[in-house]
Amino acid sequence: MEITVIGTGYVGLVTAVGFAELGHRVLGVDRDAAKVRRLQAGDPVIYEPGLAEKLVAQQGAGRLHFTTEIAAGVRHAPILFICVGTPSLPDGSADLSQMEAVVRQIAAALDGYRLVVEKSTVPVRTSSWVHRTLRLYTRPGIEFEVASNPEFLREGRAVHDFFHPDRIVLGVPSQRAGDLLGEVYAPFHCPKVITDPNTAEIIKHACNSFLALKISYINLIAELCERTQADVHTVAQAMGLDQRIGPEFLEAGLGYGGACLPKDVQAFIHIGEEHGLDFSLLKEADAINRRRVDGILQKLKRALWILEDKEIAVLGLAFKANTDDVRGSQGLAVARALLDSGARVRLWDPHAAARAQELLSPSERVAYTDSIWGALEGAHAAVIATPWEELRALDLARVAATMLTPIVVDGRNLLDTEAVRAAGLEYHPVGRPSVAFT
Ligand SMILES: NC(=O)c1ccc[n+]([C@@H]2O[C@H](COP(=O)([O-])OP(=O)(O)OC[C@H]3O[C@@H](n4cnc5c(N)ncnc54)[C@H](O)[C@@H]3O)[C@@H](O)[C@H]2O)c1
């Protein structure tokens, strides 16, 4: 069937390419003309494993096109997926201005029934606002409906996640809307949760906030382990073997970042408060996450005494492995905190350095390196900030030989303690015993 996807960023582009591969005829719409030009030329703009090849293949098959014109998107399909950004406002609530702008543009172009689907993460009851806005700005007598179909893909595995979802959530106002979305997702055989739009909107925020709670919980346990010479890795392993808990999102370290979890937790706290509920459970998760960066700084201070003018390698700037996304990056936060302490930073990331450069103010105390070895050369310490495979597989003897003082602070608990000891590194993981300099 014909599908329009509005907003072709991390979610929208993967969704557009995925729908096309399923056989739908997809038009992707974005207001960013430069992005659309690159997409039209087969350049995915973002780094996401497997995406570039699929983009080119679907364009070649004639099933995927891009435009800047929302009106063309409205003409193209009976179903319009909105995938625009919903960042945080200063008070933590979701900034829905991109949503509202798109909805007004859709309303102006409506010429007959369309199903408008929110795929962006939005606060509960947004679908009512979308409905009202369509009613206000469209011509009388035109039919439309609004549904919620939240997205659960993970950056770095987004293509895989598109084709292998744990479940699909369809918040629909009617049988007609349910049937249309059912046709879109017919090729998937995973559980489908069919519900009302309000419930679907809450499901997304409830999931992300729960994941944040899980991460902050294990990081709190890591803090206890550090004070009691226990090992959080083994605690997490044993917890994860309990089927009621499960092993995922129990990795102690620098905490969660990215464009979703931090802002979704903030938004959910705000939504709870708007409805007279005390969501301090989530405020605590957020507070624990915020002190992760300081925890890394403290480890560096304990190792180096004075940070001023020290050369520190920060290995990893993407907020997680296999993406170039640096929004909410803990690695960038570490770099900023180091610069505030007077240190010099040498930054390495295999895919995210260019995007990091856009966000970090230029300074003669910041250097970007193409290789891990360039970052480590002459460094007083290194911080592992992103769990890239390259870092897991490091030649540790070479690390020791390359650095000025072989001190590694492992913000992602990537390295093996015995291997680190054998290589002669001083090593400070998170929630696990350190290895002293010998
Ligand atoms: N990134 C993720 O891993 C992820 C996962 C699940 C859900 N989400 C949610 O999906 C939504 C999109 O996230 P993202 O990471 O893809 O954002 P993004 O910033 O990468 O992409 C948003 C796109 O929307 C475009 N856009 C904005 N206003 C527009 C307009 N008026 N007309 C046309 N295009 C417009 C932007 O140019 C941009 O390309 C957010 O609500 C986010 O919370 C994101």
Ligand 1 centroid, distance to 209 Cα (angstroms): 19
Domain boundary among the residues 143, 162, 195 is at 195
- Whole-angstrom distance, CA of residue 182 vs CA of residue 194: 10
pLDDT band at 201 (very low <50, low <70, confident <90, very high): very high
Ligand 1 centroid, distance to 402 Cα (angstroms): 41
Mean predicted confidence (pLDDT) in 53-62: 98
170: its two tokens: 């369809």
Catalytic residue check, 83: no
Mean predicted confidence (pLDDT) in 149-166: 98
Q: What is the pLDDT of residue 165?
A: 98
Whether residue 7 has its Cβ less than 6 Å from ligand 1: yes
Q: For residues 87 and 180, state if they share a domain.
A: yes
User: Is residue 435 in some structural domain?
Assistant: no
- What is the overall mean pLDDT for the chain? 97
Q: For residues 143 and 56, state if they share a domain.
A: yes
Q: pLDDT per residue over 359-383, tens digit each? A: 999 999 999 999 999 999 999 999 9
Whether residue 6 has its Cβ less than 6 Å from ligand 1: yes
Mean predicted confidence (pLDDT) in 249-264: 97
User: Is residue 433 in some structural domain?
Assistant: no
- At 95, which amino acid appears? D
The one-character DSSP state at 297 is H
Closest Cα to atom 15 of ligand 1:
10
Q: For residues 263 and 308, state if they share a domain.
A: no
| Residue 254 three-state SS | coil
Domain boundary among the residues 172, 195, 218 is at 195
Q: For residues 190 and 119, state if they share a domain.
A: yes
Q: What is the pLDDT of residue 437?
A: 83
Whether residue 251 has its Cβ less than 6 Å from ligand 1: no
Q: For residues 228 and 95, state if they share a domain.
A: no
| C-beta atoms surrounding 30 within 10 Å | 25
Q: What is the pLDDT of residue 294?
A: 97
Q: What are phi and psi of 436, to 5 degrees?
A: -80, 155
Strands of the sheet with 114-118, listed across from one edge: 64-67, 25-29, 2-6, 79-82, 114-118, 144-148, 168-171, 192-195
Q: pLDDT per residue over 105-128, tens digit each? A: 999 999 999 999 999 999 999 999
Q: pLDDT per residue over 280-330, tens digit each? A: 999 999 999 999 999 999 999 999 999 999 999 999 999 999 999 999 999
Domain boundary among the residues 283, 313, 332 is at 283
pLDDT band at 260 (very low <50, low <70, confident <90, very high): very high
| C-beta atoms surrounding 67 within 10 Å | 18
Q: For residues 94 and 62, state if they share a domain.
A: yes
Give the residue numbers spanning the domain of 123: 2-195
Spell out the alpha helix ranges (H) of 22-96. 33-40, 51-60, 70-76
Mean predicted confidence (pLDDT) in 126-154: 97
Choice between 437 and 44, residue whose per-residue pLDDT is larger: 44
Q: For residues 210 and 254, state if they share a domain.
A: yes
User: Is residue 436 in some structural domain?
Assistant: no
- Whole-angstrom distance, CA of residue 388 vs CA of residue 324: 11
- Residues 318, 325: contact at Cβ < 8 Å? yes
**Tally of structural domains, the chain:** 3
Mean predicted confidence (pLDDT) in 249-258: 97
Q: What is the pLDDT of residue 438?
A: 75
Q: For residues 311 and 210, state if they share a domain.
A: no
Q: For residues 299 and 215, state if they share a domain.
A: no
Q: For residues 191 and 214, state if they share a domain.
A: no
User: Is residue 143 in some structural domain?
Assistant: yes
Say what the pTM is: 0.96
The dihedral built from the CA positions of residue 144, 264, 352 and 48, taken in this order, carries a sign that is: negative
